[in-house]
Amino acid sequence: MPAADRPTRDLILDAAIELFARQGYRATTISQIEKAAGLSPGSGGLYRHFRSKQQVLEAAIERARVNQTVPSYEDDRLFDLDHPELGLRAAAEFGLAASRADGPLYALLLRPTDDLPLTGSFADIQADLLSGGVLRLARWIELFTKAGRFRQVDELATARTALGALSWFHLTHDLLGVEVAGVGEERFLDNWVDVWLTYLVAPH
């Protein structure tokens, strides 16, 4: 969607996260955010949408959490009990898509923690973002386990390990621009599905 057609609130979020990721949360001023969002610097336009700089950051994390969740519920592949490989592929694609939609935010979360307001509501929102994908994938694994398609495993540990591989691919491939060992996206995703399908499928 062209910037001119996007809500001002979203423009502020995008501008703020880009600045936070590039120069740091504490070093970024409200005026800088307003200028980058196309508002008059120092006009107070940001405060028509957010109470503070921290609330901007919290809203960006909440938006990322929604991006993680909403599309996946609309894909029938996740609920095809006869073809778990399709569900795994969907989970991998959604995981990468969500990370890419909010790439600057994830880059920001890799910054030293003393640059972030890791207190109060921010800490809770950040923890929810980082654990939400793990909990959803664990519940999906449990669904297939109860249907007899997967063997009994530690769902949470398995989900965290699987998503850890996706996160590392996103970090190296998208944020650092490195194709590690010459393994591209399709090859990586095909192997990711094969590895976890082999691990999870109940023996006959």
Residues 135-174: tens digit of each pLDDT: 889 999 999 999 999 999 999 999 999 999 998 998 899 8
Q: Is the pLDDT of residue 112 over 60?
A: yes
Residue span of the structural domain in which 127 resides: 57-200
Residue 120: the pLDDT is 57
Residue 102: the pLDDT is 80
Which of residues 57 and 126 earns the better pLDDT score?
A: 57
CATH code assigned at 29: 1.10.10.60
Average of per-residue pLDDT values in the chain: 87
Which of residues 2 and 96 earns the better pLDDT score?
A: 96
Q: For residues 86 and 76, what is the distance between their CA atoms, to the nearest angstrom?
A: 9
Judgement on whether residues 74 and 124 belong to the same structural domain of the protein: yes
Which of residues 126 and 51 earns the better pLDDT score?
A: 51
Other residues' Cβ atoms within 10 Å of the Cβ of residue 112: 7
Judgement on whether residues 29 and 74 belong to the same structural domain of the protein: no
In percent, how much of the chain has pLDDT > 90? Answer: 54
Judgement on whether residues 176 and 116 belong to the same structural domain of the protein: yes
In percent, how much of the chain has pLDDT > 70? Answer: 87
Find the mean pLDDT for residues 68-92: 84
Residue 70: the pLDDT is 58
Residues 179-189: tens digit of each pLDDT: 999 999 999 99
Structure tokens at 44: 């107070």
Residue 204: the pLDDT is 59
Judgement on whether residues 17 and 87 belong to the same structural domain of the protein: no
Residue 113: the pLDDT is 65
Judgement on whether residues 114 and 162 belong to the same structural domain of the protein: yes
Judgement on whether residues 70 and 45 belong to the same structural domain of the protein: no
Judgement on whether residues 64 and 133 belong to the same structural domain of the protein: yes
Judgement on whether residues 67 and 165 belong to the same structural domain of the protein: yes
CATH code assigned at 170: 1.10.357
Cα→Cα distances 110→34, 85, 87, 124, Å:
24, 31, 29, 17
